[in-house]
């Protein structure tokens, strides 16, 4: 799967609230109400990543969780990254809809 051209990256990023570009990756930081809320969310994202066979880098800093996506073997951004970012966003919306806090 080849890396995406800049125009496609810009368009896809424009459709992903809360994500921004950082070099050859897209990143999103979420602040949770409690440490364990973030840990539970990371666990759910891990399940989604396993199912998609595309794994984000995850940095946990107390209540702040940062997700970073890039396709390492392609040296940049691909559709896989944007698909996983959408899955993370959808899971965040589901959690907030259930009364979970972020």
Give the residue extent of every domain in the chain: 26-95
Q: Where are the alpha helices (DSSP H) in 16-78?
A: 35-52
Q: Where are the alpha helices (DSSP H) in 3-100?
A: 6-14, 35-52, 79-97
pLDDT for the residue 72: 87
pLDDT of 36 above 60: yes
- Please check whether residue 35 is in contact with residue 62, taking contact to mean a CB–CB distance below 8 angstroms: yes
What number is the average pLDDT over the span 65-78?
A: 93
pLDDT for the residue 17: 87
Give the span between the Cα atoms of 56 and 69, in whole angstroms.
Answer: 5
Q: Does the model's pTM come out above 0.75?
A: yes
- Please check whether residue 57 is in contact with residue 68, taking contact to mean a CB–CB distance below 8 angstroms: yes
Which residues lie across from 66 on neighbouring strands?
29, 59
Q: Which CATH architecture has domain 26-95?
A: 2-Layer Sandwich (3.30)
What number is the average pLDDT over the span 75-97?
A: 93
pLDDT band at 73 (very low <50, low <70, confident <90, very high): confident
Question: Between these two residues, 35 and 95, which has the higher pLDDT value?
Answer: 35
pLDDT for the residue 39: 98
């Amino acid at each position: 799967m080849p890396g995406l051209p800049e125009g496609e990256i810009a368009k896809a990023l424009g459709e992903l609230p809360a994500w921004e570009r950082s070099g050859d990756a897209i990143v999103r930081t979420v602040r949770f109400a409690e440490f364990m809320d973030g840990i539970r969310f990371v666990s759910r994202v891990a399940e989604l990543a396993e199912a998609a066979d595309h794994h984000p880098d995850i940095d946990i800093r107390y209540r702040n969780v940062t997700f970073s996506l890039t396709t390492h073997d392609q040296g940049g951004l691909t559709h896989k990254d944007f698909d996983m970012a959408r899955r993370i966003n959808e899971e965040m919306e589901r959690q907030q809809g259930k009364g979970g806090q972020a």
